[in-house]
Structure 1
Amino acid sequence: MTADPANLLFVHAHPDDETLTAGLTMARAVRDGHRAHVLTCTLGEEGEVIPPALQHLDAAHDDTLGPYRLGELSAAMAVLGVSHEVLGAAADGSALSRYRDSGMAGTPSAAHPDAFVNADVSEAAGLVADVIRRVRPEVVVTYDEHGGYLHPDHVQTHRVTCAAVASLPPADRPRLYAVLVPESWAREDREWLAEHPVEGSGWALPDPDGAYPPSVVPDHLVTHEVVSPELVPVQAAALREHATQVTVAPSGDTYALSNDVAARIPGREGFALLDPATGGLATVDATASGRHTDLLERDR
């Protein structure tokens, strides 16, 4: 890696997505002297709230979860040492975001006129392109074409980010990556969880034979990785700031979302190059080199 710092931009759908999927990478980037910036497309207004004392914030009650989650995002990014902004937020503070969380697939919230899933892709891509031109990242990270696990806002974030990068002159386009998990890592994580239950949590374990989400792919499709287990405590500390959405075990190596299913904080994150013109994975096979390449290496 060269001595010059790199700029990295992480484009995500809701507060907490960035820390769950790429918190380790951001922590590593900052530790190594690089600059990381997070662009969040909605405030996550439709999220389920875990702490009973805060459930009045949700969309079915006070509908004030969005601003609260923005505060959580700010605190988490301070832990990671990362700057952040919300897509389409007004500079004078009169609007905290341009788009609203669409909720899960098939829910009535997707019919809201400001729901991100209904956004005009060209308009939203133009806003993302403006951020890219201002931040000037060498690397942009977002979701794969399935949005990781088929959440409509994640799919829309992928679509909009690809369109934004593709709209730039070829010489100005940053490298674009999707967050992915190699199948071997996913298997190892399930085995690890079975061997390290969180006593007294009431959390279920993932089915060892259950299907994986679309973001889990054959190992050879993952072209880049970041492996830094020593930074798991930093990622865990950032996740704890997203308390409405995430519960982190006292051990700091396991967490659960509102579904109360245990998940590992594994100290490694995988990525693959995307073709912004098609939205699909670029035609690169990691087996050609026999190993994955570190995402933060500059000379590749």
Structure 2
Amino acid sequence: MNRSYEGFRILLVHAHPDDETINNGATMALYADLGAQVTLVTCTRGEEGEVLVPALSHLASSQKDQLGSHREIELANAMKALGVTDYRFLGAPSTKFRDSGMMGTEPNNRPDVFWQADVDAASTILAEIIDEIKPHILITYDEIGGYGHPDHIQAHRVAMRASELSTWEIQKIYWNTMPKSVLAEGIAKMKEIGSDFFGAESVDDLPFAKDDEFVTTLIDGGAYVDAKMAAMKAHETQISLDGPFFALSNNLGLQIWGDEYYTLVKGTKCEPFDVHGRETDLTSGILLQ
């Protein structure tokens, strides 16, 4: 019988709508379903994202520039699928940070993009949310934002700075990670069917691939893969049904999306552990208060 997580509070800080589902969808669904308070703060609306649905191409920033409002709807639908009711945009409704686009592109230079935001100012806004919800656990990106996207890097900076500025002491902080061994298996399977995973010939071609030793924690969200897949489908403009994410699940099994990996950067790694010595519960060792 699954334990109850009633009383535990988890805060996730992400850059764009869809990042939360890809990185943490099963984790969010699991903890929310079992009673934890799960709060998502998304820093931008993803206005510069590529539109993968031809019928919606007019929403792109290069055309009508209406993608952000559409992705708000996608996020709401994804959160419904994951069972998460507390989701917010950083600074809303008074402040709005725009998607910065990829590193070195023209949108980076706009004064209203998240990449150009004053880190302390943005962190103060997030610190107010931390003091309001009093999370025991914070989940965000590593110092390179996983793969170097400006908004991911900035989300990391803002989340970590906010944890310092807030009056509430967060007991455990995790960074998302993806181990090389898992990605290598995925690449091999895709090659077997004559396809590829984001054009990677080997795991070393993927900037977000980390050595397995960085994984301190593995959450088995296998029972919530259906919810995660439904949430991924909700992000229709960003995640193609015939793209690498769904191809991986078709060829490696749905558990590829049920296992979610983390690096503990604040707090103590505590039992229970799996056979590899990795934590299996984000809340382990936390004192409820």
Q: TM-score range by the shorter chain?
A: 0.7 to 0.9
Residue 27 of structure 1 and its aligned partner are, at CA, apart by: 1.2
Residue 283 of structure 1 and its aligned partner are, at CA, apart by: 9.7
Which structure 2 residues correspond to residues 86-165 of structure 1 after superposition, within 5 A? 86-90=89-93, 98-165=96-163
Distance 1:46 1:27 in 2: 27
Distance 2:119 2:99 in 1: 15
Q: How many residues align?
A: 276
The two structures, once aligned, show a CA RMSD in angstroms of 2.9
Distance 2:156 2:187 in 1: 27
- Which one of the candidate residues 293, 297, 300 is aligned to 2:279? 293
1:106/1:283 CA distance change after superposition, 3 Å: farther
Residue 172 of structure 1 and its aligned partner are, at CA, apart by: 1.8
Which structure dedicates a bigger proportion of its chain to helix? 2
Distance 1:3 1:153 in 2: 31
- Code of the residue aligned with 1:247 in structure 2: it is S
Residue 41 of structure 1 and its aligned partner are, at CA, apart by: 0.2
Distance 2:164 2:205 in 1: 30
Which structure 2 residues correspond to residues 151-300 of structure 1 after superposition, within 5 A? 151-169=149-167, 172-195=169-192, 204-205=196-197, 206-249=199-242, 253-254=246-247, 265-274=256-265, 290-299=276-285
Instruction: Give yes or no for contact 1:2–1:298 (8 Å, CA) kept in 2.
Output: no
Instruction: Give yes or no for contact 2:178–2:210 (8 Å, CA) kept in 1.
Output: yes
3-state SS in 1 of match to 2:77: helix
Which structure 2 residues correspond to residues 36-115 of structure 1 after superposition, within 5 A? 36-82=38-84, 83-90=86-93, 98-115=96-113
Instruction: Give yes or no for contact 2:138–2:170 (8 Å, CA) kept in 1.
Output: no
Distance 1:172 1:266 in 2: 31
State the TM-score, normalizing by the size of structure 2: 0.86
> Percent identity, aligned pairs only?
35
Distance 2:34 2:9 in 1: 12
1:295/1:283 CA distance change after superposition, 3 Å: closer
- Code of the residue aligned with 1:118 in structure 2: it is Q
